[in-house]
């Protein structure tokens, strides 16, 4: 039969590839540059196809005949959808596809059905019982009174177009979300397609598969995964405002991120940095993800208040009128979607499982940032804290607020101390026996009870600097009697200006690096052991810290043949030193320059380890008595018996982290989720 149909096309010279060469004629219908004579029921094409269909019907092949021309139309429609959609996600194509359906296939089908006598007017009694789906539609271009059969064809074609476009967009959903928000038109098209087809489960299954293959891998950084997660939430809430399917899509990402050690730190950085939640850093300056979320909430509240004082009553009527049951994929434990909204911050915090862990991590990061500051400018930190207080409550952020107040008080105290210098005689502007002016010293005075544990390191500062600190402490005590200062000599920043025979360079360094280089002021060569003894640090620490000055070309390292020790010598002339020697080191460069990446504040993991050490004996005793125990059982047993001071109040994830540390120390072993003593 296919050959007979092809012959009909050949006889009428209507090959699709050759029709492009035919000029337009009056009274014909345009199909992508080709022209089918479909406006007249007696056109050769329609007449020939109609004859074939009529003959097949006479032989009893009615369904075969319809399938033949239907498959050709669907293939042409599929090619058109692929051509219009392509890989351009910044333009909506749905309306163009629907317009093409009305302009091309429906015109042809109207002519064919009219020729076959299958076209009945709605008002004609011969039309019989009509389907409720085929209610009287609006008139189509070029068609005065569409028949019920034509309406059915329109529904079939549009459903096929929606499904085809939906499958294309779902297959490229990962790329669409990467390009969000520029790809919003593609998201809107996909939303309309899913509303028409109802195939949301296909989106969930396909996107989860793409995530596991392309994102949830060891090669992807935690920061990239988090930013993609946020983009996924923003994009999919357009499709699913209630978050039913977003919950299913996000679960693999959350589960994977819980297994990464740096997840909490990356979340805090993403919430508080100035990239606006964009991994490429294209956000506005000072525009953090937290500020973005706060703006969205304000916009929602403002839009809700625009209708006047009876907004709640109106919203209740709207909700009741638009009520729909939850889809079968919805988690019944999450509550009805009519009472649920997509909360980006809540979903991010849900990765960790507890807001307290996020607050503690932010507190540590805030402490490091404040201690590394060379001035008292904390406007951005205050703005971030106020936003966090909105989401997490003032009580949770109380310690962080005290830390910022310490900086404000330090600025005031520092100004008062320097004011006393101006009131004294000119000779008192220089610290006694030091030769260094107090004007160059700015101190950050902290309330240690409210700050995270500070990493202390024994450090012997040069005599003039030590005397300067003592003079500052004396003046502070005079102003704030009876308070006294206890200096954390390893913390802070020092601005140095080094003068050599052929150059002058400036550096912003940590106190330990300043203490090292200042020893070379009176003595140009030191062995590592003698230098370590003077500074008060272990030899290996000195060898590690001095690498900064070696990398800058300030110090040269050799081996002392007599003592078999490292010899460090000051480089006075840099004619043969690499060009890095003339570059001043920034504070950030130096603070990140240590090989071990030590910070001034103990990390959350170190604090947890210290707090959990007291429970180690309990855990060892339990495993001695019971042999092996699962994580849940250990957790519940500790909560049951450790009720006195200190009370066991740790989460399951914190306990798991502590037990993993014991396993790495070879005190415990774990098999199939069961912990036991190392044999």
DSSP for 472-525, please give it: HHHHHHHHSTT------TTSS-EEEEEE-SS-EEEEEE-HHHHHHHHTTTT-SE
The pLDDT, as a whole number, for residue 315 is 52
Task: Compare 496 and 310 and report the one with higher pLDDT.
Answer: 496
Quote the radius of gyration of the chain (alpha carbons, Å): 38
pLDDT band for 168, please (50, 70, 90 cuts). Answer: very high
Q: Which range among 148-152, 213-217, 247-251, 474-478 shows the weakest confidence by mean pLDDT? A: 148-152
Q: Which range among 51-55, 143-147, 343-347 shows the weakest confidence by mean pLDDT? A: 143-147
What length does the chain have?
A: 679
Task: Compare 29 and 432 and report the one with higher pLDDT.
Answer: 432
Task: Compare 124 and 115 and report the one with higher pLDDT.
Answer: 115
d(CA 319, CA 299): 20
DSSP for 188-211, please give it: HHHHHHHHHH--HHHHHHHHHHHH
Angle at 194 between CA 190 and CA 199, to 5 degrees: 130
Helical (H) or strand (E) element with 29: strand 29-31
Tens of pLDDT, residue by residue over 137-162, are: 555 555 555 677 778 888 888 899 99
Share the mean pLDDT of the chain: 74
Structural domains for the chain = 483-570 (3.30.230.130), 604-677 (1.10.10.10)
d(CA 617, CA 623): 10
The 8-class DSSP code of residue 430 comes to B
**Average pLDDT value for residue range 69-89:** 87
**Residue whose token pair is 């003046």:** 475
d(CA 45, CA 36): 7
- pLDDT at residue 371 greater than cutoff 60: yes
**Average pLDDT value for residue range 528-545:** 87
- pLDDT at residue 41 greater than cutoff 60: no
- pLDDT at residue 342 greater than cutoff 70: no
Tens of pLDDT, residue by residue over 92-113, are: 888 888 888 888 888 777 777 7
**Average pLDDT value for residue range 431-459:** 77
**Average pLDDT value for residue range 358-373:** 86
The pLDDT, as a whole number, for residue 377 is 85
Say what percent of the chain tops pLDDT 70. 68
d(CA 619, CA 670): 14
pLDDT band for 581, please (50, 70, 90 cuts). Answer: very low
pLDDT band for 245, please (50, 70, 90 cuts). Answer: confident
Burial (CB < 10 A; 0-12, 13-18, 19+), residue 352, is buried
Closest to 186 (Cα-Cα) out of 238, 241, 244, 225: 238
Task: Compare 335 and 345 and report the one with higher pLDDT.
Answer: 345
d(CA 657, CA 136): 66
The pLDDT, as a whole number, for residue 402 is 92
The 8-class DSSP code of residue 127 comes to G
The pLDDT, as a whole number, for residue 141 is 57
The pLDDT, as a whole number, for residue 341 is 57
The pLDDT, as a whole number, for residue 652 is 78
Task: Compare 165 and 147 and report the one with higher pLDDT.
Answer: 165
Most confident of 321-335, 549-563, 576-590: 549-563
**Average pLDDT value for residue range 372-393:** 84
Tens of pLDDT, residue by residue over 607-654, are: 777 777 778 888 888 888 888 888 888 888 888 877 766 777 777 777
Burial (CB < 10 A; 0-12, 13-18, 19+), residue 259, is exposed
**Average pLDDT value for residue range 335-359:** 70
Q: Which two tokens stand for residue 414?
A: 């520092």
- pLDDT at residue 39 greater than cutoff 60: no
Task: Compare 278 and 538 and report the one with higher pLDDT.
Answer: 538
- Rounded to 5 degrees, φ, ψ at 526 are -140, 145
Longest dimension (CA), the chain: 120
- pLDDT at residue 287 greater than cutoff 70: no
d(CA 637, CA 621): 12
**Hey, which residues does 565 pair with through a beta bridge?**
560
Tell me how far apart the terminal alpha carbons of the chain are, to the nearest angstrom: 80
């Amino acid at each position: 039969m296919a050959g007979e149909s092809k012959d009909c096309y050949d006889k009428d010279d209507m090959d699709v590839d050759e029709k492009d060469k035919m000029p337009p004629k009056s009274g014909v219908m345009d199909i992508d540059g080709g022209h089918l004579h479909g406006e007249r029921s007696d056109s050769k094409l329609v007449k020939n196809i109609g004859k074939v269909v009529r003959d097949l019907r006479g032989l009893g092949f009615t369904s075969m005949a319809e399938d033949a021309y239907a498959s050709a139309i669907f293939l042409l429609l599929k090619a058109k959808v692929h051509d219009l959609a392509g890989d351009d996600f910044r333009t909506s194509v749905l309306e163009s596809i629907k317009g093409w359906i009305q302009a091309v296939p429906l015109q042809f089908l109207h002519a064919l059905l009219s020729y076959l006598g299958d076209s009945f007017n709605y008002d004609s009694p011969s039309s019989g019982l009509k389907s409720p789906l085929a209610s009287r539609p609006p008139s189509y271009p070029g068609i005065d009174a569409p028949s019920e059969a034509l309406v059915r064809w329109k529904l079939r074609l549009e459903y096929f177009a929606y499904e085809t476009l939906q499958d294309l967009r779902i297959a490229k959903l990962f790329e669409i979300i990467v390009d969000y928000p520029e790809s919003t038109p593609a998201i809107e098209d996909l939303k309309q397609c899913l509303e028409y087809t109802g195939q949301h489960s296909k989106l969930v299954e396909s996107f989860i598969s793409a995530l596991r293959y392309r994102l949830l891998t060891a090669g992807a950084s935690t920061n990239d995964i988090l930013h993609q997660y946020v983009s996924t939430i923003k994009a999919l809430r357009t499709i699913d405002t209630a978050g039913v399917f977003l919950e299913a899509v996000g679960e693999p990402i959350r589960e994977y991120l819980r297994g990464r050690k740096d997840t909490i730190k990356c979340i805090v950085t993403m919430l508080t940095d100035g990239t606006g939640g964009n991994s490429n850093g294209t956000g506005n300056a000072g525009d953090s993800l937290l500020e973005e979320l706060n703006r969205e909430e304000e916009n929602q509240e403002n839009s809700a208040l625009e209708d006047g004082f009876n907004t709640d009553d109106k919203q209740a009527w709207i909700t009741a009128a638009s009520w729909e049951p939850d889809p079968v994929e919805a988690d019944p434990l999450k509550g009805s979607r009519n009472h649920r909204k997509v909360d980006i911050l809540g979903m991010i915090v849900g990765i960790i499982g507890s807001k307290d862990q996020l607050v503690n991590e932010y507190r540590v990061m805030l402490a490091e940032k404040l201690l590394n500051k060379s001035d008292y400018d904390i406007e951005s930190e205050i703005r971030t804290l106020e936003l966090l207080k909105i989401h997490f409550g003032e009580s949770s952020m109380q310690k962080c607020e005290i830390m910022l107040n310490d900086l404000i008080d330090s600025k005031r105290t520092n100004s008062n101390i320097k004011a006393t210098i101006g009131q004294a005689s000119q000779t008192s502007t220089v610290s006694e026996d030091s030769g260094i002016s107090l004007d160059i010293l700015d101190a950050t005075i902290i309330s240690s009870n409210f700050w995270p544990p500070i990493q202390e390191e024994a450090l012997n500062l040069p005599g003039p600097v030590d005397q300067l600190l003592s003079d500052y402490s004396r003046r502070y005590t005079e102003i704030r009697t009876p308070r006294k200062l206890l200096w954390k000599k390893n913390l802070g920043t020092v601005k140095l200006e080094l003068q050599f025979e052929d150059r002058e360079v400036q550096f912003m360094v940590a106190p330990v690096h300043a203490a090292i280089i200042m020893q070379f002021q009176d003595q140009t060569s030191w062995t590592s052991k003698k230098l370590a003894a003077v500074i008060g640090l272990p030899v290996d620490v000195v060898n590690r810290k001095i690498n900064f000055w070696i990398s800058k070309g300030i110090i040269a390292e050799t081996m002392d043949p007599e003592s078999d020790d490292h010899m460090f010598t000051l480089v006075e002339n840099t004619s043969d030193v690499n060009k890095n020697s003339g570059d001043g080191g920034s504070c950030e460069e130096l603070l990140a320059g240590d090989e071990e990446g030590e910070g001034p504040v103990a990390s959350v993991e170190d604090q947890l380890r210290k707090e959990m050490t007291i429970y180690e004996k309990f855990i060892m005793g339990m495993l001695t008595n019971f042999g092996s125990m699962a994580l849940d059982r250990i957790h519940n047993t500790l909560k049951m018996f450790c009720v006195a001071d200190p009370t066991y109040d740790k989460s399951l994830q914190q306990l798991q982290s502590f037990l993993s540390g014991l396993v790495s120390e070879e005190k415990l072993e774990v098999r199939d989720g069961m912990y036991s003593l190392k044999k």
